[in-house]
Amino acid sequence: MSISQPECQDVDDSTRTAIARVTHIIHVLTSHFVPLTDALLLEAYEWAVEQETSVKDLLQQDFGDALVASIVSNR
């Protein structure tokens, strides 16, 4: 007996990038003990997109610090 796998759809690059960006933003914010809200995540996501850097740059300490400083100062 074999278990059938549901058909998987390919995830396009822009969706994959957006998912990775949100994942990294959540990691950065939680590592700085910033409480997460949908509004805060949206603000952080928009800030990250405006920086026009690669998604993996979010994991660099100075970039993460700048993200947190920008988001916290707007509150």
Kindly report, residue by residue over 2-17, the tens digit of the pLDDT: 555 566 678 889 999 9
pLDDT at 23: 96
Q: Look at 53 and 61; give whichever has higher pLDDT.
A: 61
Q: Which of 27, 23, 6 is nearest to 15 (CA)?
A: 23
Would the pLDDT of 1 be above 60?
Answer: no
Average pLDDT over the chain reads 88
Q: Count of CB atoms within 10 A of residue 33's CB? A: 7
Instruction: Say if residue 71's pLDDT is above 60.
Output: yes
Query: Residue 74 in contact with residue 66, Cβ under 8 Å?
Result: no
DSSP annotation of 60 = S
Examine the pLDDT at 43 and tell me if it is beyond 60: yes
